[in-house]
Structure 1
Amino acid sequence: MRLTPNTKVLICGIAEPLAIDHVPLMRDYGTQVLAGVSPGEGGRSINEIPVFDLVEEAIATVGPIDVVIVFSPAYAAVDAALEAIAAGIRQVVMVSAGVPPLDMVRLVRRAEATDTLVLGPNCPGIIVPGQVLLGMHPAECYQPGSIGIVSRCSTLAYEVALQLTRAGFGQSIAACIGADRVVGSSLLQWLQMLDEDDRTEAIVLLGEVSGDGELRAARYIAETIDKPVIAYIAGHFAPVNRSIGHANQIVASRTELGKRGKTDVATKVAALKAAKVRVADRPSKIPELLQRALNTKAKAPSAK
């Protein structure tokens, strides 16, 4: 994935309130939003962006599109993404929340068959600081640099990016994959992309208490990645007898705990540490650990 100021963007669900609020911010950042699609709204303009009823109509008018960002309602989000894939768009950002898991299964299967990268759903998208904003990241938290961020949680990514920015560490890219039960792309996939990205010197991985994605990521890091990786897993101090967290991830984690073995925070932290990843016990410690990792890399370039 190579995102630049020349990346051409289409918005599905451009008439939705969230899109009406955030698309102008994307354009102000320099993102080239060429058109929008909202069924029944074709022929008008929203925030000076032409609106079409169908993706293929938009492409026929404005030309090739590199990325589609989906703001459509939950029940229509996957159909919007599938329409974009059918039109030849191979990068999809799903901002929409509440997308049914079985719908996402259908989308993931289609994405795999067409070599399409899907981010989300229920995520703020991607930002390449200083170049392009694809979604809802607060641009003021970021500055250009060489640290790649991949996160399951949106607001945690903002917080960590701001901590890094204040410490003088700019970011090459920040991507939030979402924390729904079925998502379009995994931590492992994004680690691979960041490892191959020549603009990224080090990686910050931000996980959550549920699922086993962080365990898979730890194995991949141990086997493959040579760049420094710093991690933080949210949920250390979650109350045991209370349902809280991003999309009820705490409850989901306890279900998995009984079904598939331990996937709690301590297990994930242990797995990451075993992979030689520096793990922060709170977000504010990430810049300090990052500096140590970069110092170590500078002294021994061939060391992990």
Structure 2
Amino acid sequence: MAILIDATKRVLVQGITGREGLARTRLMASYGTQVVAGVTPGKGGQTIEGIPVYDTVGEAWEQSGPIDISVLFIPAPLVKSAALESIAAGIKLLVIVPDRVPIYDVLEIADAAQRAGALFVGPNTLGVLSPGQGVLGMMGGRAASAREWFFPGPVGISSRSGGITTSMAYYLAQAGIGASTLVHVGGDPIVGLPHPAVMRLFEQDPATKAIVMFGEIGTSQEEQVADLIEAGALTKPVIAYIGGKSARSGTRFSHAGAIIEGGRGTHEGKVARLRDAGATVVDAFNNIPAATRDVLARIGALEPKGAVS
């Protein structure tokens, strides 16, 4: 199993004829993702990589059949209208790749998604990847590298940094530890599926035995994960690393959502809160594989491929 993407999901690409849309469609299709249609207004009737292109999401649904997921490669000012179009058509998961989406647009998308029972990842996300099953967005860069770097296993990965999402999965794989799903939640202050929501999905996934999380200063996502652990809503072990230890108040750390204001969202506070709740928090990024191996061994989930030779 996996969360969000697997081989059965039917995927639409909005903005498929653009440079990014075309390049990432090649990645997704080559990796095995079931990309069934693309949409670019005014470009309907074309075929991209063997995938039919339509003018509207409604037309794509009517001609290609029901669609589970839409991946958006749309200029930021147009993201809201494209997202609302997909939600109105009945698509239940959106992956919003672009950054610089206006925050009020994100709030409107979130409201529409909630009313429709839909979910969205991002904005400002590399996407989602389930090793051996499918990729949404641009995780892994190329299909060949994604196949080489990642393999299936018992660890779910949730991260606020795109580069660190792939880095964690890569170094875990080098240590013989595979992943169930990689999720880059997005680097903006407001995202559709923040860490706590991703944790709830991993909690329900039988293939995920432990969760590795990269957190940052700013927002309360990591503290909310601690709340879930304490409430018993998250029972699977969490291994966490929190970036931004040296950041000062008012200074943005890497991403738009990674900023300390008035003493809130600090590195120290997040580390203490997670440790108090029972999570394993490492002090250095390169300690993640060893800590994860120890946790998997403790719960009897260290698979043969990850066994110490």
Structure 2-normalised TM-score?
0.90
Partner of 1:117: 119
CA distance in 1, matches of 2:113, 2:26: 28
1:232 aligns with 2:241: yes
CA distance in 1, matches of 2:256, 2:125: 15
| Partner deviation per Cα, 1:204-256 (whole Å, 9 max, x = no partner) | 11111111111111111222222111001111234x49956323455x32xx2
The alignment partner of 1:246 has SS state of: coil
Partner of 1:147: 155
Shift of 1:295: 2.5
Which residue, out of 91, 94, 112, partners 1:92?
94
Contact 2:26 2:49 (C-alpha < 8 Å) held by counterparts = yes
Shift of 1:67: 0.6
Partner of 1:168: 176
CA distance in 1, matches of 2:57, 2:256: 34
The alignment partner of 2:136 has SS state of: strand
1:1-304 equivalences under 5 Å are 1=3, 3-138=5-140, 139=146, 140-224=148-232, 225-238=234-247, 240=248, 243=251, 245-250=253-258, 252-253=259-260, 256=261, 258=262, 261-298=263-300
| Partner deviation per Cα, 1:126-159 (whole Å, 9 max, x = no partner) | 1010111111111143111110011111101111
Contact 2:215 2:241 (C-alpha < 8 Å) held by counterparts = yes
Residues 1:10 and 1:248: Cα distance change in structure 2 (over 3 Å) = closer
CA distance in 1, matches of 2:153, 2:299: 17
Letter in 1 for 2:85: E
CA distance in 2, matches of 1:212, 1:241: 15
The alignment partner of 2:300 has SS state of: helix
CA distance in 2, matches of 1:60, 1:177: 31
Higher relative contact order (CA 8 A, sep 6+): 2
CA distance in 1, matches of 2:249, 2:270: 21
CA distance in 2, matches of 1:241, 1:229: 27
Shift of 1:161: 0.6
Residues 1:103 and 1:241: Cα distance change in structure 2 (over 3 Å) = closer
CA distance in 2, matches of 1:242, 1:29: 41
**Structure 2: any 5+ residue segments left out of the alignment?**
141-145, 302-309
**Structure 1: any 5+ residue segments left out of the alignment?**
300-304
Residues 1:16 and 1:54: Cα distance change in structure 2 (over 3 Å) = same
Shift of 1:86: 0.6
Tell me the percent identity.
37
CA distance in 1, matches of 2:257, 2:68: 33
Letter in 1 for 2:237: P
Partner of 1:302: none
CA distance in 1, matches of 2:151, 2:297: 21
Residues 1:89 and 1:242: Cα distance change in structure 2 (over 3 Å) = closer
Number of equivalences: 292
Contact 2:128 2:184 (C-alpha < 8 Å) held by counterparts = yes
